[in-house]
Chains A and B, each alone.
Chain A
Amino acid sequence: AQSVTQLGSHVSVSEGALVLLRCNYSSSVPPYLFWYVQYPNQGLQLLLKYTSAATLVKGINGFEAEFKKSETSFHLTKPSAHMSDAAEYFCAVSTMNSGYSTLTFGKGTMLLVSP
């Protein structure tokens, strides 16, 4: 069975600083990996996804993530944080299980951005 671990339930950065949100996955088969963002009182919005085409994936709003199989990691980064990036971020893994796909989410990381 697959699982996702997000290190740090809260991450605080200053505006303009590097954003690094950590995600490690566990999967017995090649995974498809996703990062979603959730703003208050809203649903989840896809930031980017890894589907084995390239290990460095670029997403919306300047975010990118790198798939490292040896480390079973898919960390999310952004060079310079904006106040509008303050939200909760979820890493998710999707694999096939008994013929059906299942999307499993991490617990989420709340990103706090200070001026």
Chain B
Amino acid sequence: KAGVTQTPRYLIKTRGQQVTLSCSPISGHRSVSWYQQTPGQGLQFLFEYFSETQRNKGNFPGRFSGRQFSNSRSEMNVSTLELGDSALYLCASSLVSGVNNEQFFGPGTRLTVL
């Protein structure tokens, strides 16, 4: 069974631009979560989608948004990029949403904002 895939793997943007990252979950998984990983802040939860609905959201500004499609694929968008948005963005999928459901992580998208 294929794992979680994320595209692109690397991305370089300039301040003020916007970016869209894509995540394809493991087949059959309906929950997709997004995390931002930086050396200073570590892993921080962005949001979770389940059955095309955002179920939970972390403490990030409105410039960060996402969506989920009927095939469970998910995208996240960051508008008006800032230097501080440079990070590894990780997507994780699980069968359902819940406290003890194992999340399977993709390799991440490394975003560099210049």
Contact = CB atoms under 8 A, between A and B. Distances in A.
Contacts of B105: 36, 43-45
A18 interface: no
Contact of A101 (B4, B44, B99): B99
Query: What secondary structure prevails in chain B residues at the interface with A?
Result: strand
Contact of A49 (B33, B45, B100, B104): B100
Interface string B70-114: 000000000000000000001010000111111111111000000
Contact of A32 (B44, B55, B100, B104): B100
B45 A100 contact: no
Nearest to A6: B42
A71 to B, nearest CB: 21
A46 B105 CA distance: 9
A95 interface: yes
| A interface majority secondary structure | strand
A43 B108 CA distance: 6
A101 B56 contact: yes
Interface in A88-111: 90, 94-96, 100-108
Contacts of B92: 43-44
Contacts of A104: 45
Contacts of B99: 32, 94-96, 101
Interface string B58-76: 0000000000000000000
A28 interface: no
A107 B42 CA distance: 5
B19 interface: no
Contacts of A32: 99-100
A66 to B, nearest CB: 18
Interface pairs A-B: 7 shortest CB-CB: A43-B105, A105-B43, A100-B56, A44-B105, A101-B99, A107-B42, A94-B99
